[in-house]
Chains A and B, each alone.
Chain A
Amino acid sequence: MNEVDFLLWVKGSAFNIALFIFVAGLVLRLFEILSLGRKVNYAVPKGDPMQGGLREIFRRFGTDKATFQRSMITIVAGYVFHIGLFVVIFLLAAHVEVFKSVLGFGWPNLSTPVVDAFAVVTMIALVVVLIHRLQHPVKRFLSSPGDYVAWAVTFVPLLTGYMAYHHLLLSPQMMLGLHILSVEVLLIVFPFTKLMHTFTVFLSRWYNGASMGLRGVKS
């Protein structure tokens, strides 16, 4: 298998397998969570659960002063790499073309050097949170292998994509192939790791907010 065969394989059958596992896993997990259901609450509602839920979705974007001071690195670096990931994944021209081919519609892209800069900043932020995780005794104690797996499968596609774009180390075909392969690994493990929070974060924020709203409590 030469590098062109490899690139064709990752773009062809490997991508199809990864996409299948990703979508099926995603739907399965969401369906499982939603189908669990909740007991009917017969208590008289003291507030509007929908309002409480929606408020909570937005409220948790912010943080209170004490928490911010205590976990500044986590919050700042966390925000930086999340925004960076959004820009890199969704606004690079080559990526928009992939979404267009899978979803059937696309959107405008940013210029490549801007996305490139975001990629660098994102990688730095990811390294910062990893070092912080390793050095902070409580964080290290709480970390399971799953946390490191989630970090690695997020970081490697960024690194290989950056190297493919800048023609570093290996031939562009090989690097592009490795980049796509690393994304496929990400897609496969995505539904079965904590990365699933991408799809459940607003759901759980809403749920917490709604249960408070029902009780008439400001969360």
Chain B
Amino acid sequence: MRMQTPSPYEQTLGEHLRSQGISRRSFLKFCGLLASSMALAPSMIPKIAEALEQAKRPSVIWLSFQECTGCTESLTRSHSPSLEGLIFDAISLDYHHTLQAASGDAAEHAREEAMKEHYGKYVLVVDGSIPLDNPGYSTIAGISNLDMLKEAAAGAAAIIAVGTCAAYGGLPKADPNPTGAVSVSDIIKDKPIINVPGCPPIPVVITGVIAHFLTFGLPELDSLGRPKAFYGQSIHDRCYRRPFYERGLFAETFDDEGAKAGWCLYKLGCKGPVTYNACATTKWNDGTSFPIESGHGCIGCSEPNFWDFGGFYKALSIPTGASGKNAVYAAAAGIAAGVAIGAMNKKSKAEAASSHQTVTVEELNQESGS
């Protein structure tokens, strides 16, 4: 008797992974990785496994606006074949104009169909910022980014803003923001939005957030809309070079003895103290390293406006404006005002001297005599 294949949307994630040849051991390993990266207790691993097993494959629509495709690259070119990648396969990605085979009308048709069929249930993933100055700056199939986002967001269960551009405007929003770029949360106010910033975000963080959404629903978010599980600690707090910061040992240039000895990169512009991300713990390229480990300071890519943070190679404490020039102008203004006030003082002194009335001896005698 021939078994009936379930529809892709009815298949649970567990069934799908098994059909892809993923062993239970590998699956549990992934669940363990998720639990640790979300800072959950090991006792949660079986619960994650159970929840993921039972989760239905959600329909996902991925919209790419003003972006560089780096976020998609980060995900698809992560150490392959990876479990994160397979979890990503396990969602039903119904529209992603970089990855889908269809093009033109067929592609847009796929999006419209997915939106209609799963109205109110699909997950909308957005990467890239939205230009508000002129809709013509970025369009897909003749539809402006703003219109497409509004239309797709209307039927979404939740929105995941992947990458700093979608989360906070990112590079397109960098001063002077020529396209009037804004983030997803600047436009959509009535849907739950999970920001997964980073330029690009760490692959396991993207899939981890998706897995969290499938298993436990919306994750707990910080004030900037980021899941606390992955963005709860600063790079600085988890940095292996932190002891050098504490001891006041800093590399002054990228090739001095301090740099060779692995000293703190604060003076070389590291933004680790104000950057929240999982790089220092999760690391990149299959856990090989992260920027600070390869000798370059953190550029703060998971924070809003990181591009305008006063220069990647300037220490965090340094003011962003041209302070030296400003001080010279201020001194000039001070001298000018000083000269004016000095002249006024001199004048009032001279006036006091000229209006000073002297008293004669006779006058004094008269007064004392009267």
Chain A residues within CB distance 8 Å of chain B: 2-5, 7-8, 11-13, 15-16, 19-32, 35-36, 93-95, 97-98, 100-104, 109-115, 167, 171-173, 176
Contact = CB atoms under 8 A, between A and B. Distances in A.
Interface stretch (B5-13, B87-95, B334-342): B334-342
Interface stretch (B21-29, B66-74, B128-136, B313-321): B313-321
A216 to B, nearest CB: 29
Nearest to B250: A93
Contact of B310 (A11, A21, A104, A115): A11
Interface residues of B, number: 46
Contact of A35 (B326, B334, B345): B345
B273 interface: yes
A123 to B, nearest CB: 20
B267 interface: yes
B248 A102 contact: no
Interface in B242-267: 245-250, 266-267
Contacts of B81: none
Contact of A24 (B273, B331, B341): B331
A12 B319 contact: yes
Contacts of A23: 326-327, 330-331, 334
Contact of B319 (A5, A16, A109, A167): A16
Contact of B274 (A26, A98, A112, A172): A172
B353 to A, nearest CB: 11
A93 B250 CA distance: 9
Given A13-B321, A15-B319, A26 B334 contact: yes
A166 B269 CA distance: 20
A22 B330 contact: yes
A11 to B, nearest CB: 5
Interface in B292-310: 303-305, 308-310
B215 interface: no
Contact of A32 (B309, B326, B345): B345
Nearest to A184: B319
A5 B305 contact: yes
Given A28-B341, A35-B346, 11 more contacts: A3-B224, A4-B305, A8-B308, A12-B310, A19-B319, A23-B330, A24-B337, A32-B345, A94-B266, A97-B267, A109-B248
A113 B345 contact: no
A172 B323 contact: no
Contacts of B327: 19-20, 23, 102
Given A4-B303, A23-B334, A172 B234 contact: yes
30 contacts: A4-B224, A8-B305, A8-B308, A11-B320, A12-B310, A12-B320, A13-B321, A15-B320, A16-B326, A20-B333, A22-B330, A23-B330, A23-B334, A24-B330, A24-B331, A27-B331, A27-B334, A28-B338, A31-B338, A32-B345, A35-B339, A35-B342, A93-B248, A93-B267, A97-B317, A104-B324, A111-B248, A113-B247, A171-B223, A176-B273
B151 interface: no
A110 B335 CA distance: 35
Interface in B200-251: 223-224, 234, 236-237, 245-250
B329 A32 contact: no
A115 B303 CA distance: 29
A16 B323 contact: yes
Nearest to B304: A4
B51 to A, nearest CB: 31
B286 to A, nearest CB: 30
Contacts of B316: 94, 176
A37 to B, nearest CB: 8
Contacts of B246: 111-113
Given A3-B223, A8-B305, A28-B341, A20 B274 contact: no
A49 to B, nearest CB: 23
Contacts of A22: 330
Contacts of A20: 326-327, 329-330, 333
Contacts of A15: 319-321, 323
Contacts of A100: 318
Nearest to A175: B274
A31 B343 CA distance: 11
Nearest to B338: A31
A65 B31 CA distance: 74
Contacts of A95: 317
Nearest to A3: B223
A5 B304 contact: yes
Contacts of B341: 28, 31-32
Given A94-B266, A111-B247, A103 B338 contact: no
Nearest to A108: B248
Contacts of B236: 172
A115 B248 CA distance: 10
Contacts of B326: 16, 19-20, 23
Contact of A102 (B245, B273, B323): B323
Contacts of A114: 248
B339 A31 contact: yes
Contact of A97 (B273, B318, B338): B318
Given A2-B304, A93-B248, A172-B234, A98 B338 contact: no
A8 B334 contact: no
A85 to B, nearest CB: 17
B345 A36 contact: yes
